[in-house]
């Protein structure tokens, strides 16, 4: 049972995790052995790229990001990367607890108001989101059904002299992406291992059903909406370079006989409307679910009309994924507030085990708001900038600040109100692995890398009853240690598959 008392899944589809001792090295097979055999690497690389294209692991190109006339494989690793079984299982088991926690916080307007007060004053983007939240609260929540699709991201922390541990980087409550492409990577890695002549290793690579699980949640929410003619609306950016990841979800829903339409926020403003019952209509379609794949960055609101469109959606009867409250729960400031003593207990008091599971993934998170607490942690970070990460209230990857740049930013903001737009986090020291990263136009070289594990969570609440709470799958991303920040869409990380050790 979950922390909310609702039924939950006990394992990932087709997932049978091997048992290994913690003392084993984080090397699944001898990658170093093939370092000198360039012809073998070239052979495997060609096989891997062709397999990726056949599987549909695709992205549009930076040269023509608005067109599918010219496409390329999405960046991925040549080999699956080692992941400790124990830590993968820990991330999987805690995801349903995070689902419950996110949902409960989204219903606590007093906590959101108090926790975000300083950020709202200093950050215009968060303030605009909160204005919409306030208006929705004043008018009254129209739709009692909540659909959450989130992703909690982790690294494997290896502090000096200590065992490797699972530590959370962040939780994404809006536009959690790459489930569609991540599903397809295991088959490519199985093929690579077979071509290499390692069928036993190929057989150990587990499948991933994140996209199917997410679509199962969307389909269930669509069914609860109660209109077979209503559609699922994908809200998308103006230039969707990662369109094929979205298309994977769309096709799965179409296969379930659920119509999907794609629109931009500006199009909602221009052609959308609410009827007397606040049902959302666009181009003759009634919208059952508004699924956001955009709207998490200030750049997504390029005009005032985009903000009005977001307000229209939030006021409507459509099921929002996420609704504005859940969007706010995903801010870095809320993440920082969760580590304070007593906060988890106030939401999960009925499940001490869930509190323990969640807290075990936390690293130090600190407010740098004006006051003694903020001044003290800023002083520590200025003295030792390598031990911290400065995180702004932004999503999408590539926003975090490290090392000397962290020091310079702190010096520039420490005497002003802008400091409330950031939080500080203890820097994770991830365990390094070796792999070849395949990216269009880039040389194939053995790199020292770090991996980042994301667990997808899907939940549905109908009024006060949780009717779905699952962890359907995962996203593994790998990047060279030469980069401190950035994801797949940012051109830094690549898609990967766990090889359990």
Convert the pLDDT of each residue in 169-181 to its tens digit.
999 999 999 999 9
Q: Whole-angstrom Cα distance, residue 206 to residue 190?
A: 9
Q: Do 80 and 497 form a contact (C-beta atoms < 8 A)?
A: yes
Start-end of H helices in 107-209: 109-115, 117-122, 124-139, 179-182, 185-196, 199-203
Name the active-site residue from 86, 151, 333, 461: 151
Domain contains 3:
no
Domain contains 389:
no
The DSSP secondary-structure symbol of 204 reads T
Closest listed residue to residue 272, CA positions, set 239, 222, 310: 310
Q: Whole-angstrom Cα distance, residue 85 to residue 82?
A: 9
Q: Do 420 and 118 form a contact (C-beta atoms < 8 A)?
A: yes
Closest listed residue to residue 289, CA positions, set 388, 148, 422: 148
Q: Whole-angstrom Cα distance, residue 495 to residue 236?
A: 22
CA-based R_g, the chain, Å: 22
Q: Whole-angstrom Cα distance, residue 282 to residue 48?
A: 42
Name the active-site residue from 60, 148, 170, 250: 170
Give the CA count within 13 Å in the CB-facing half-sphere of 333. Answer: 25
Name the active-site residue from 184, 477, 479, 487: 477
Closest listed residue to residue 28, CA positions, set 192, 204, 183, 182: 204
Q: Pairing mode, if any, of strands 432-438 and 319-321? A: unpaired
Domain contains 160:
yes
Q: Whole-angstrom Cα distance, residue 36 to residue 471?
A: 40
Domain contains 390:
no
Q: Do 437 and 486 form a contact (C-beta atoms < 8 A)?
A: no
The DSSP secondary-structure symbol of 401 reads B
Q: Whole-angstrom Cα distance, residue 291 to residue 234?
A: 5
Q: Is 391 a catalytic residue?
A: yes
Residue 278, token pair as written in the block: 């606040």
Domain tally for the chain?
A: 1
Domain contains 217:
yes
pLDDT in tens, 258-284: 999 999 999 999 999 999 999 999 999
Domain contains 224:
yes
Domain contains 369:
no
Name the active-site residue from 396, 398, 486, 491: 396
Q: Whole-angstrom Cα distance, residue 407 to residue 412?
A: 9
Q: Do 224 and 465 form a contact (C-beta atoms < 8 A)?
A: no
Name the active-site residue from 177, 208, 351, 435: 177
Start-to-end CA distance of the chain, whole Å, equals 28
Between vectors from CA 473 to CA 470 and to CA 478, what angle results, nearest 5°? 140
Q: Do 486 and 69 form a contact (C-beta atoms < 8 A)?
A: no
pLDDT at position 490? 58
Q: Do 343 and 359 form a contact (C-beta atoms < 8 A)?
A: no
Q: Is 259 a catalytic residue?
A: no
What are φ and ψ of residue 428, in 5° steps? -80, 140
Name the active-site residue from 86, 391, 407, 461: 391
Q: Whole-angstrom Cα distance, residue 155 to residue 166?
A: 6
Task: Report the SS3 class of residue 329.
Answer: helix
What is the CA 362 to chain-centroid distance, rounded? Answer: 17
Dihedral sign, Cα of residue 350, residue 354, residue 359, residue 362: negative
What is the CA 452 to chain-centroid distance, rounded? Answer: 11
Residue 364, token pair as written in the block: 């130090």
pLDDT at position 232? 98
Number of helices (H), then strands (E), in the chain: 18, 20
Q: Whole-angstrom Cα distance, residue 250 to residue 214?
A: 11
Q: Whole-angstrom Cα distance, residue 153 to residue 151?
A: 6
Name the active-site residue from 49, 212, 332, 357: 332
Name the active-site residue from 201, 337, 395, 452: 395
Q: Whole-angstrom Cα distance, residue 92 to residue 454?
A: 9
Q: Is 151 a catalytic residue?
A: yes
Q: Do 220 and 468 form a contact (C-beta atoms < 8 A)?
A: yes
Beta-carbon contacts of residue 401 (< 8 Å; ≥ 6 apart): 389, 390, 391, 392, 409
Q: Do 227 and 288 form a contact (C-beta atoms < 8 A)?
A: yes
Q: Is 445 a catalytic residue?
A: no
Full pLDDT tens readout for the chain, 501 residues: 344 444 344 344 434 444 443 333 334 555 555 555 788 899 999 999 999 999 999 999 989 999 999 999 999 999 999 999 999 999 999 999 999 999 999 999 999 999 999 999 999 999 999 999 999 999 999 999 999 999 999 999 988 788 999 999 999 999 999 999 999 999 999 999 999 999 999 999 999 999 999 999 999 999 999 999 999 999 999 999 999 999 999 999 999 999 999 999 999 999 999 999 999 999 999 999 999 999 999 999 999 999 999 999 999 999 999 999 999 999 999 999 999 999 999 999 999 999 999 999 999 999 999 999 999 999 999 999 999 999 998 876 668 899 999 999 999 998 988 999 999 999 999 988 889 999 998 999 888 999 999 999 999 999 999 999 999 999 999 999 886 655 566 568 999 999 998
Residue 200, token pair as written in the block: 């036993």
Q: Is 332 a catalytic residue?
A: yes
Q: Whole-angstrom Cα distance, residue 287 to residue 299?
A: 25
Q: Do 423 and 365 form a contact (C-beta atoms < 8 A)?
A: yes
Q: Is 220 a catalytic residue?
A: no
Q: Is 172 a catalytic residue?
A: yes
Task: Report the SS3 class of residue 174.
Answer: coil
Task: Read off the pTM.
Answer: 0.92
Give the CA count within 13 Å in the CB-facing half-sphere of 259. Answer: 11
**The domain containing residue 93 runs over which residues?**
31-363+428-500
Domain contains 495:
yes
């Amino acid at each position: 049972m979950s922390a909310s008392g609702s039924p939950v899944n006990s394992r990932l589809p087709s997932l049978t995790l091997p048992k290994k001792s913690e003392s084993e090295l984080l090397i699944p097979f001898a990658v170093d052995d093939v370092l000198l055999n360039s012809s073998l690497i070239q052979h495997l690389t060609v096989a891997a790229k062709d397999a990726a294209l056949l599987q549909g692991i695709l992205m549009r190109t930076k040269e023509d990001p608005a067109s599918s006339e010219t496409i390329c494989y999405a960046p991925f690793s040549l080999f699956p990367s080692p992941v400790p079984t124990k830590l993968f299982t820990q991330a999987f088991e805690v995801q349903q607890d995070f689902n419950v926690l996110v949902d409960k916080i989204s219903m606590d307007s007093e906590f959101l108001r108090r926790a975000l007060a300083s950020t709202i004053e200093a950050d215009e983007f968060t303030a605009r989101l909160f204005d919409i939240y306030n208006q929705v609260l004043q008018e009254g929540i129209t739709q009692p059904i909540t659909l959450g699709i989130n992703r909690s991201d982790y690294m494997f922390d290896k502090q000096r002299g200590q065992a490797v541990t699972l530590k959370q980087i962040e939780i994404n409550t809006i536009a959690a992406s790459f489930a569609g492409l991540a599903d397809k990577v295991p088959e490519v890695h199985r093929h690579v291992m077979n071509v290499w002549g390692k069928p036993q290793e190929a057989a150990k690579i587990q499948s991933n059903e994140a996209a199917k699980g997410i679509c199962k949640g969307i389909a269930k929410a669509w069914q609860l909406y109660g209109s077979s003619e209503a559609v699922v609306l994908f809200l998308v950016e103006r230039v969707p370079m990662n369109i094929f990841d979205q298309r994977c979800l769309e096709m799965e829903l179409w296969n379930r006989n659920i119509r999907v339409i794609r629109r931009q926020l500006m199009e909602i403003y221009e052609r959308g409307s609410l009827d007397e019952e606040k049902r959302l209509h666009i181009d003759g379609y009634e919208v059952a679910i508004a699924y956001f794949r955009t709207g998490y960055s200030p750049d997504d609101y390029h005009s005032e009309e985009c903000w009005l469109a977001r307000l229209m959606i939030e006021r409507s009867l459509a099921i929002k994924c996420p609704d504005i409250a859940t969007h706010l729960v995903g801010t870095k400031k809320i993440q920082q507030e969760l580590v304070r003593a007593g906060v988890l207990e106030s939401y999960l008091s009925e499940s001490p085990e869930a509190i323990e599971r969640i807290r075990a993934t936390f690293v130090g998170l600190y407010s740098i708001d004006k006051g003694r607490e903020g001044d003290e942690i800023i002083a520590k970070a200025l003295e030792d900038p390598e031990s911290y990460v400065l995180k702004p209230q932004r999503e999408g990857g590539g926003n975090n600040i490290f090392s000397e740049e962290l020091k310079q930013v702190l010096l520039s903001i420490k005497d002003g109100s802008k400091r409330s737009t950031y939080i500080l986090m203890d820097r994770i020291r991830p365990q390094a692995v070796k792999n070849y990263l395949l990216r269009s136009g880039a040389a194939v070289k053995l790199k020292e890398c770090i991996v980042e594990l994301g667990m997808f969570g899907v939940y549905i609440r109908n009024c006060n009853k949780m009717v779905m709470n699952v962890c359907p799958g995962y996203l593994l991303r790998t990047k060279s240690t030469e980069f401190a920040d950035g994801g797949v869409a940012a051109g830094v990380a690549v898609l990967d598959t766990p090889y359990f050790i």
